[in-house]
């Protein structure tokens, strides 16, 4: 490792999220050197000591790659002027900076820090402006200090920025006092990192704060896996394993958290440990649903049979007895659940209900959990559907650090008489709480979905809990209507769901299994299917072929498959701009997916009539295509499947990942013309029936399974998916 000293002459590029910076310095030997590396908040004019090594970049030439950077506030007057006028203090230009430095000399920064009112001694600076300048200087210094402090532990500038936003000018002191606060959800640092910081500062491994933090972290981590609560014994056991102490020591920490209202248990369920967010959501959902669980008293309820008959006659269709039962159930009850597999007539029922409610003057809103699911139900039903997020309207609280919230709530409910939610199996407990808070007490709620699909990605298993409670009217559709004679997709989906092997490889069929027992052979097979076989034989565009894998890691996991498929389906070309982020290349034409909720992301949309609308919010699982990469403006434009168009700054591209391949969980609620499912190296925890069933039901025209016949058989036989702790069912049964 080499060490160089110098003064920052210019900052060419800074990634505000991870602190990656490209800058030029003038060394103490008067040499000009380009530095690259994690160096957050560098400012022109300051002096640095950089440790690293020289490297030769194939495009940019010789650079100094920085491993460690130490900074000092400048002491030479010209450098001080450059530093103060670099933009760190809004409204402070070079002329004013020069006047300040000329007056206070080497005490300039001391004045900004401890005596800011004295800045008013400089002509043109009012006392009010002097205080603003002093505050801005201190904020920059404190933010820089926390970033430098966190950098020692390998923590990104983005996380350091969150820490500073939460704790303000006292951020470094707060972190040193209790590093475990950084594991709280609003920061989200891994417990092991917090623990390393704490132990390096000499905290007692058996200290109460450490043990309390371990329990909170375990509870939060398990919530992210889908649980709404944890049994106390399991929580204590996982906590003891995390911090490597005896379980007895964690009992005191557990009691302390109870007294501080950091965790919650209930008298009727003393073994269930909840976070505040989860217990609030479960209680509210149970209470609100119970209040809605009433019969309709509308005058026209007595006319339901004739209403259904008139609808059949007008549209030239026939509803079977179970479909009629579903329609009657939804028309006569404030809450109704309609569940069934693919092709069982759910969309027909939705269309029927909307038409009948509309004829009686009731306003109906149709929604789905994701953009792609909303688009699909819009296309199949002929009625506009919105995502639940758009339905609830995102706003921002000025009082609460501009945190996002839903504008539709108890004080501002939805303007609708009936809410129909399609793909209801995807709704988690938090989203259900938000939806119910916005639902008027006199409105009806109809949940439509497939209870045999995977549960929601988020915590809870709302749809199955409601059904299994036996507290609400439920109609289960079983007769298959949407099935062409030459198609096996829906038939095989139901066979899999019943625990039977599918019918595969029939001549001129649409459901195939290709045995491949080696990873390389399987990958080559997928490439051939995507580029040649499926487009040539079935006339399906490669863009309409979706690879859906059970897992993220491994040779046949999503991460590796996306890397390979990008090279094959969207290779590098001179006329295709691209942007490198870490080890990921984003290229014009890439298929991408949003991987986290971003309530602040602006989008525009051109409707069918040519009108342009705008809104906020892009959500986890939204898929689209990169339509433009502007290297000068540092912007990537993505058009999502529902025609929303978003611009991403280069420093926010970590919100996206490639979507040539996606996990089964991420594909929920979506439908694709053709689906390829690799079945090789599937972990036992994922080798279950509902996962395979969910993957198969994503296909509209073609399913191709590639891999091990034994794994397919194992998945079909295995109904013991990982238990998910949820207390909603019992609450609904009370």
Model confidence over 684-716: pLDDT tens digits?
A: 989 999 999 999 999 999 999 999 999 999 999
The predicted model gives 609-615 an average pLDDT of 82
- 164 or 93, greater pLDDT: 93
Rounded distance, CA 466 to CA 449, Å? 12
Q: Is the pLDDT of residue 670 over 90?
A: no
Q: Lowest mean pLDDT: which of 391-400, 412-421, 512-521, 596-605?
A: 391-400
What tens digit of pLDDT does each residue of 626-636 get? 999 998 888 99
Residue 28 CB neighbour total at 10 angstroms: 12
Give 422's Cβ-side CA count (13 Å radius): 35
Using pLDDT thresholds of 50, 70 and 90, give the confidence band for residue 599. Answer: confident
Q: Which of 193, 174, 276 is nearest to 228 (CA)?
A: 276
What tens digit of pLDDT does each residue of 264-302 get? 999 999 999 999 999 999 999 999 999 999 998 887 878
Give 413's Cβ-side CA count (13 Å radius): 13
> E-strand spans in 560-679?
578-581, 584-587, 591-594, 598-606, 612-618, 623-630, 635-640, 644-649, 656-658, 661-663, 672-679
Phi, psi at 160, each rounded to 5°: -60, -40
pLDDT of residue 143: 77
Using pLDDT thresholds of 50, 70 and 90, give the confidence band for residue 460. Answer: very high
pLDDT of residue 485: 53
CB 707 within 8 A of CB 679: yes
Using pLDDT thresholds of 50, 70 and 90, give the confidence band for residue 16. Answer: low
Rounded distance, CA 426 to CA 268, Å? 29
pLDDT of residue 368: 94
Q: Which of 214, 216, 294, 285 is nearest to 247 (CA)?
A: 214
- Estimate the share of the chain in helix, then strand, then coil, as percent rounded to the nearest 5: 40, 25, 35
DSSP character string of 669-717: T--EEEEEEEESS--TTT--HHHHHHHHTTEEEEEEEEE-HHHHHHHHH
Rounded distance, CA 249 to CA 378, Å? 56
Q: Which of 683, 419, 442, 680 is nearest to 556 (CA)?
A: 680
- 586 or 44, greater pLDDT: 586
pLDDT of residue 18: 63
Q: Is the pLDDT of residue 351 over 90?
A: yes
Q: Lowest mean pLDDT: which of 204-213, 601-610, 648-657, 710-719?
A: 601-610
Q: Lowest mean pLDDT: which of 72-76, 241-245, 407-411, 588-592?
A: 72-76
Using pLDDT thresholds of 50, 70 and 90, give the confidence band for residue 76. Answer: confident
Residues in the chain: 734
Residue 551 CB neighbour total at 10 angstroms: 19
Which DSSP letter does residue 723 get?
Answer: P
Q: Is the pLDDT of residue 474 over 90?
A: yes
The predicted model gives 11-21 an average pLDDT of 76
Using pLDDT thresholds of 50, 70 and 90, give the confidence band for residue 321. Answer: very high
Long-range pairs of 473-476 with CB within 8 A, sequence gap ≥ 24: 473/329, 473/333, 473/335, 473/336, 473/337, 474/336, 474/337, 474/338, 474/339, 475/322, 475/325, 475/326, 475/329, 475/336, 475/337, 475/338, 475/339, 476/322, 476/339, 476/340
Which DSSP letter does residue 181 get?
Answer: G
pLDDT of residue 514: 96
Burial of 1 (0-12, 13-18, 19+ CB in 10 A): exposed
Rounded distance, CA 685 to CA 683, Å? 5
Specify the pairing of strand 264-266 against strand 230-231. unpaired
CB 45 within 8 A of CB 35: no
CA distances from 625 to 311, 544, 629, 639, 646 (A): 40, 12, 11, 5, 11
Q: Is the pLDDT of residue 483 over 60?
A: no
pLDDT of residue 172: 81
Residues whose CB falls within 8 Å of the CB of residue 725, separated by 6 or more in sequence, listed in order: 222, 227, 228, 229, 230, 231, 272
Residues whose CB falls within 8 Å of the CB of residue 266, separated by 6 or more in sequence, listed in order: 272, 279
The predicted model gives 225-229 an average pLDDT of 95
pLDDT of residue 471: 96
Rounded distance, CA 472 to CA 467, Å? 7
CA distances from 188 to 181, 254, 260, 325 (A): 9, 21, 21, 48
pLDDT of residue 583: 81
- 188 or 118, greater pLDDT: 118
Q: What is the mean pLDDT of the chain?
A: 90
pLDDT of residue 301: 79
Which DSSP letter does residue 610 get?
Answer: S
Residues whose CB falls within 8 Å of the CB of residue 321, separated by 6 or more in sequence, listed in order: none
Q: Lowest mean pLDDT: which of 46-50, 129-133, 407-411?
A: 46-50
Rounded distance, CA 52 to CA 459, Å? 44
CB 17 within 8 A of CB 30: no
CB 352 within 8 A of CB 319: yes
CA distances from 243 to 189, 206, 259, 374 (A): 16, 9, 22, 44
Rounded distance, CA 681 to CA 693, Å? 18
Q: Is the pLDDT of residue 153 over 90?
A: no
Give 292's Cβ-side CA count (13 Å radius): 28
- 79 or 570, greater pLDDT: 570
CA 239 to chain centre: 26
- Alpha-helical (H) ranges within 333-468 are 346-359, 371-381, 388-392, 429-437, 462-468
Question: End-to-end distance of the chain based on CA atoms, in angstroms?
Answer: 67
Give 408's Cβ-side CA count (13 Å radius): 19
């Amino acid at each position: 490792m080499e060490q160089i000293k110098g003064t920052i002459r210019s900052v060419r590029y800074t990634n505000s999220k991870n602190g990656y910076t490209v800058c030029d310095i003038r060394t103490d030997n008067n040499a000009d050197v380009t530095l690259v590396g994690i160096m957050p908040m560098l400012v022109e004019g300051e002096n640095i000591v950089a440790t690293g090594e020289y490297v030769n970049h194939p495009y940019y030439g010789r650079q100094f790659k920085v491993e460690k950077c130490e900074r000092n506030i400048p002491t030479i007057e010209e450098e001080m002027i450059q530093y103060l006028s670099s933009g760190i203090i809004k409204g402070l230009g070079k002329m004013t900076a020069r006047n300040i430095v000329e007056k206070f000399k080497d005490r300039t920064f001391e004045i900004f820090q401890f005596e800011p009112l004295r800045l008013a001694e400089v002509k043109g600076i009012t006392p009010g402006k002097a205080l603003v300048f002093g505050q801005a200087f201190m904020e920059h210094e404190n933010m820089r200090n926390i970033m430098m402090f966190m950098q020692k532990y390998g923590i990104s500038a983005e996380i350091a920025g969150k820490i500073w936003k939460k704790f303000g000018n006292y951020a470094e002191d707060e972190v040193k006092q209790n590093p475990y606060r950084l594991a709280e959800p609003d920061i989200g640092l891994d417990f092991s990192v917090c623990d390393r910081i704490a132990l390096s500062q000499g905290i007692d491994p058996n200290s109460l704060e450490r043990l309390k933090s371990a329990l909170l972290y375990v509870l939060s981590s398990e919530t992210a896996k889908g649980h709404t609560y944890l049994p106390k014994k399991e929580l204590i056991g996982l906590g003891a394993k995390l911090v490597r102490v005896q379980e007895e020591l964690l009992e005191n920490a557990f009691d302390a958290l109870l007294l501080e209202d950091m965790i919650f248990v209930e008298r009727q369920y003393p073994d269930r440990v909840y976070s505040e967010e989860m217990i609030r959501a479960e209680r509210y959902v149970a209470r609100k649903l119970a209040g809605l669980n009433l019969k309709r008293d509308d005058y026209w309820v007595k006319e339901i049979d004739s209403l259904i008959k008139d609808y059949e006659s007008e549209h030239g269709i026939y509803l079977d007895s179970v479909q009629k039962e579903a329609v009657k159930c939804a028309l006569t009850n404030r809450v109704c659940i309609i569940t069934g597999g693919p092709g069982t007539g759910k969309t027909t029922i939705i269309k029927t209900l909307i038409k009948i409610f509309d004829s009686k003057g009731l306003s109906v809103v149709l929604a789905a959990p994701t953009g792609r699911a909303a688009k699909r139900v819009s296309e199949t039903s002929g009625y506009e559907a919105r995502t639940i997020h758009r339905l609830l309207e995102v706003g921002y609280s000025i009082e609460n650090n501009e945190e996002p919230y839903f504008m539709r709530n108890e004080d501002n409910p939805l303007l609708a008489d009936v809410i129909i939610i399609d793909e209801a199996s995807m709704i988690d407990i938090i989203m259900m709480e938000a939806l119910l808070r916005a639902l008027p007490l006199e409105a009806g709620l109809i949940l439509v979905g497939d209870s045999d699909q995977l549960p929601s990605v988020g915590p809870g298993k709302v749809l199955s809990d409601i059904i299994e409670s036996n507290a609400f009217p439920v109609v289960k559709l079983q007769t298959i209507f949407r099935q062409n004679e030459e198609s096996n997709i829906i038939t095989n989906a139901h066979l899999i769901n019943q625990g039977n092997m599918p019918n595969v490889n029939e001549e001129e069929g649409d459901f195939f299994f290709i045995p491949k027992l080696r990873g390389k052979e399987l990958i080559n097979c997928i490439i051939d299917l995507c580029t040649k076989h499926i487009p040539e034989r079935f006339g399906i565009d490669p863009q309409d072929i979706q690879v859906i894998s059970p897992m993220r890691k491994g040779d046949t996991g999503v991460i590796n498959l996306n890397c390979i498929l990008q090279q094959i389906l969207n290779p590098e070309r001179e006329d295709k701009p691209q942007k490198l982020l870490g080890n990921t290349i984003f290229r014009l034409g890439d298929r991408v997916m949003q991987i986290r909720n971003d309530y602040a992301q602006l989008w525009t949309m051109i409707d069918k009539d040519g009108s342009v609308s705008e809104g906020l919010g892009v959500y986890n699982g939204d898929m689209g295509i990169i339509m433009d990469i502007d290297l000068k403006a540092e912007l990537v434009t993505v058009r999502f499947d529902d025609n929303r168009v978003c611009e991403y700054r280069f420093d926010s591209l970590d919100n996206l990942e490639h979507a040539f391949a996606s996990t089964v969980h991420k594909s929920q609620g979506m439908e694709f013309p053709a689906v390829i499912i690799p079945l090789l190296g599937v972990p036992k925890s994922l080798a279950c029936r509902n996962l395979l069933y969910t993957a198969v039901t994503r296909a509209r025209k073609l399913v191709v399974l590639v891999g091990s016949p034994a794994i397919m058989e194992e998945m079909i036989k295995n109904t013991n998916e990982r238990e998910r702790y949820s207390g909603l069912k019992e609450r609904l049964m009370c």
